[in-house]
Amino acid sequence: MKKKISLLLIFFLFGFGLSKEKEKRKISIDDLFNLKSISQPVFSPDGKWICYVLTENDKEKKKPNSDLWMIPAEGGKPIRLTYHEKVDTRPAWSPDGKYLAFLSGRDEKNQIWLFNTRGGEPFQLTKMRSGVQSFVWSPDSSKIAFIAKDPEPEEEETKKEKKEEEIPKVIVTRRLQHKGDGIGYYDDKRNHIWLVSVEGGEPIKLTDGQYDEEDICFSPSGKELFFSSNRTENPDGNRNSDIWCLEIETKKLRKLTQDERGDHNPSCSHDGKFVAYLGGANPVYGTTFLWKVSISGGEAVKISSAVDRNVRGKPLWSADDKYIYFLLEDSGNMHICRIPSSGGEVERIIGGERTVEELTISQDGKKIAFIMDDFLNPPELYISDAEGKEIRKLTSLHDELLAHLELSEPENIHYKSFDGEEIEGWVMKPVGFQPGKKYPMIVRPHGGPNAQYSASFDHEFQLLAAEGYVVFFPNPRGSSGYGEPFGKAIWADWGNKDLKDVMCGVEFIINQGYVDQERLGIYGWSYGGIMTNYAITRTSHFKAAISGAGEADYFSCYGYDDLHLWWEEELGLPWENRDIYWNLSPIKDVTKIKTPTLFMCGQFDYRCPLPQTEQMYLSLKRLGVETELIIYPGESHGIRKLDYQVDRLKREIEWFNKYLK
């Protein structure tokens, strides 16, 4: 009898342990601090290591911190390389493997720092008063070319350091593109190319003039640099960036591309004969294709023309130059593809319901490494052979967290819109969903408008599902992953077909029987905020709304935001086309709004400026509609401070709980 009791006790304890091990919880706001971001992977020259940037949200200091890590390409324990409280990013090994360079803000502004891979502390290579934006190694590892803004005169920098001027400096701008979101007002100083020896010394300036350069890369010989720049007579008045070749010794420039549209992200073949690049997109809603041009000149060739989908990222040549690898945006996914460099069919190396965010190739061309996530798995680092047949996960940043979380897996849906067009979207049911029960639903239109929802992990959507909401996030017309005609369908016609696409999706889901049509909410940011403004002026279906960083009166956007080219290309000049500006403006129908609406915006948002949100808020307040206005001090279009991100999530849940539960 005693033996039986002991066996029962052991069984009870063992079973209890198993139940505890399997016990899961709902995701919370605080899990924002448990989610990590991994980015910028790069192989060592011998292919044995992969260096990457790991960003963690420090709950105590209430700010993110980015450091360099590396991990064996064959798998194993990752090694932390930097511990500084300042942000360290953009790792790049010298081709000879002697140094690992990176950008760090530990000297206030981003500078290039070097690790000697034989050991020792990193040391600072550059001391640019304006900081360094990006850099690239020369093929012989003796020099580094970098992009930096023309520095302030030394006396001005000294004044700033000594804080001799208590009164802020007067802002003077003479440019047509006079401001940028997250940057502020532009002066006459431009981003140019500089060259510095790895041994140190004064950098040499290679380009000049009222133009900006970006996306630099060396030729295999090290004698030329390729870059993207708009060097037209009025660069602020058009999008005509081209690929240029700079002869380093003579500083002579040659234009390689002739297209009047934007060309960018050049990548030189290993034999030094061709440059691959991205470009050819029509303004605003066009498809970006993969192109190739000879460095000796001649007509550029569009080599990905068979697929009407956006090519993203930097194109990468295989070691033998037979293939070009790239990322392809397609139907809510981002895949790794390759195509013969001579042209041909696009081959998907990594496909499926997932999002690949960054890609790198080993020097011998036998391995690729990439950052990838999906709806249920936050981003991790993966490695594969060049054909994508043997995929292995190298990092396990979120395994422990995911083991304790009960998540909602989105359901992919396709439905017909009002005119028969097929629309794709996703539905997340509440955690603990019970058939037969009806739930409130929140609709989340995306920003852009020429963007898309993709198969990636979303903390906010999971949080709403944990709170008991159905979450619907569609890709209506105007979205970018479905070809140019689909994207351009909303040209100069915002809030019409795209809003109808969204509302047809709402009706489709309600007809499934698990959504309470009397408890619908809508919330969007940027163009999603604009869509929210359209929705509450055109339908009474929504019982609560949140409009984040939206716009109200398009006529008054012109000159106040940083998008004058967009407005001119799509709607024309406002004083010439006043009617279309007004007819598309959400505030035109503001008197029809009955929905309680919460408005949010960053104080220094120059993309969708705060006064636009204030116009909507004040109008609703004046009309007696329930409303609140939340302004995040010092923030631009994206809310960056962790405290404010937490605040935004709390207010979102509180607002919807108040009106929908």
What is the per-residue pLDDT across 204-259, written as a single tens digit (0 to 9) for each? 999 999 999 999 999 999 999 999 999 999 999 999 999 999 999 999 999 999 98
* 106-156 pLDDT per residue, tens: 988 999 999 999 888 999 999 999 999 999 999 999 999 999 999 987 655
Residue 108: per-residue pLDDT: 84
pLDDT at 165 over 80: no
The H-assigned helical ranges of 287-432 are 399-403
Note if the bond before 449 is cis, omega within 30 degrees.
yes
State how far the Cα of 193 lies from the Cα of 216, in Å rounded to an integer: 8
Q: Which residues of 419-478 form beta strands (DSSP E)? A: 422-428, 439-443, 470-475
* % of the chain beyond a pLDDT of 70: 95
User: Who has greater pLDDT, 297 or 91?
Assistant: 91
pTM of this prediction exceeds 0.85: yes
The single-letter code of the amino acid at 576 is E
Does residue 14 carry a pLDDT above 70?
no
Q: What is the pLDDT of residues 359-404, one digit of tens each?
A: 999 999 999 999 999 999 999 999 999 999 999 999 999 999 999 9
Distance of alpha carbon 102 from alpha carbon 110, whole angstroms: 10
| Structural domains of the chain in order of their starting residue, each with its CATH number | 37-81+353-405 (no CATH), 407-660 (3.40.50.1820)
Residue 168's pLDDT is 86
Coil, helix or strand at residue 295:
coil
Q: Which amino acid is it at 132?
A: V
Residue 292 and residue 266 in contact, taking contact as beta carbons nearer than 8 Å: no
Name the percent of the chain lying above pLDDT 90: 90
Angle made by CA atoms 561, 565, 571, in degrees to the nearest 5:
95
Dist CA 396 CA 207 (whole Å): 44
Phi, psi of 80 (to 5 degrees): -85, 130
Say if CB 436 and CB 652 are below 8 A apart: no
Q: How far apart are the first and last CA of the chain?
A: 55
Average the pLDDT over 452-469 and give the result.
Answer: 98
Residue 258 CA to residue 314 CA, distance in Å, equals 20
Where do the DSSP E strands lie in 127-190? 134-137, 143-149, 179-180, 184-185
Provide the pLDDT for residue 162: 53
**E-strand stretches of 345-391:** 347-350, 355-361, 367-374, 377-385
What mean pLDDT comes out for the span 486-515? 98
